[in-house]
Structure 1
């Protein structure tokens, strides 16, 4: 069994590709250091709409990936050979999944209840659905969605700062931790989502909700999935 954060970013800013390319080698070292402190064995680099191979840090497996911005929301493609670059908003979710599968990657619905309507697409052959570390209170909704689609749950922190790594992560049942083994475990359902509940994590989430209180983080809480109620104690954040 391995603990892997399947959704993390090497930088805290979007765009500025040339600046990012210079920053990413430092960013991945900071991610790996934070992951190791958290007790994780691996972390996926899923930057927005690009993938750059980076030198793997010691003691932590680096899983290649990309967060594809489709015309309906975000799709994570993680595996040995993710696409190098995608143009934001041009691919449909089905095209993003096809691209991921062509490159031997798993296709995951990222934060299905935040800035996304991908969850409405029943015919797209995703491999898993994500419990996102930024708003784990939506987990009952995500679990119901995954059960209805017969898909496994994975966890990812959606970290843009190293201190956010590991607030949600994935347990991977595999003999060895490699990008290919991660893909196979996801497709076989040998994965599970975990959410960290330390005092630090609770404070971090409280701060996140405060900062983003005016944003529409979980639109499903205003328009619940048919047959699925709002989790007790849930609030918009």
Structure 2
């Protein structure tokens, strides 16, 4: 069995520098909340994405598709903006992600993001897990895509920030959308701040070591997406702390 959060961040915001100390606080809180694994899906166009991987490489052992951080599996990933609006989580091996990040360099700025179909084409044959992030969020939805396009994803994201903003009924809406398309719906906290961990998570029936294994477990239905009764308190506290910290941390 494996308790896994499939949508997390290692930085407070895109404009802050990556800090191993801050990351350590994130992972410690994840462990404290009973998680065995997280997917580190940092924004692809965050400040110095590859520097983050360089620091993690120097600090932690890496095997299969994850870093071992004090017993916590940290699967590598990225969150990619697409041209027609929406964000896609790509979880896979660090070497593949470095190469993909380089491919996406011309698409880094708003107004020049990669088209959805092109991102799917580029990652189609790779052993990755592709998740449609916060698919019903008003600012970055995925509902404008045809079902046959969304079916190229492997899952949709039940996002803790959206459950807080729109209410717990959002989970049912995402599950319904996923069912209509023929996809699983999995949980992601979207944590940028430690206090948000434990707001939502997935319970997988077996321990996984690669993104391909994660994809197999989700698509086979051998998991459950769990929502904490304390979700609202966790997300609200995390958002308040994030705003306070942004006033004190160095940004570019």
TM-score past 0.5 threshold: yes
| C-alpha displacement of 1:30 | 2.0
Alpha-carbon contact 2:36-2:72 (below 8 Å) kept = yes
More helix by share: 2
What are the ranges of 5 or more consecutive residues in structure 1 without an aligned counterpart?
212-237
Alpha-carbon contact 2:2-2:207 (below 8 Å) kept = no
1:81-112 per-residue CA deviation (whole Å, 9 max, x = no partner) reads 45232325521222223333343211111001
| Deviating more after overlay: 171-180 vs 7-16 | 171-180
Q: Report the counterpart of residue 157 of structure 2 in structure 1.
A: 130
Equivalent-residue separation in structure 2 for 1:3 and 1:12 (angstroms): 23
CA RMSD of aligned residues (A): 2.4
What TM-score comes out, normalization by structure 1 length? 0.76
| Deviating more after overlay: 68-77 vs 79-88 | 79-88
Equivalent-residue separation in structure 2 for 1:28 and 1:210 (angstroms): 19
Written as runs of structure 1 = structure 2, the 5 A alignment for 1:1-237 is 1-15=1-15, 19-20=17-18, 23=19, 25-49=20-44, 50=49, 52-53=52-53, 54=56, 55=60, 56=67, 57-71=69-83, 72-81=85-94, 82-84=96-98, 85=101, 86=104, 87-89=108-110, 90-114=113-137, 115-121=139-145, 122-124=147-149, 125-136=152-163, 137=168, 138-198=170-230, 201-206=231-236
What TM-score comes out, normalization by structure 2 length? 0.72
1:104-156 per-residue CA deviation (whole Å, 9 max, x = no partner) reads 21111100111223223212211000100112221121011011011101101
Count of residues in correspondence between the two structures: 204
Compared CA separation, residues 88 and 196, structure 1 to 2 (3 A):
farther
More RCO (CA 8 Å, sep 6+): 2
Alpha-carbon contact 2:196-2:238 (below 8 Å) kept = no
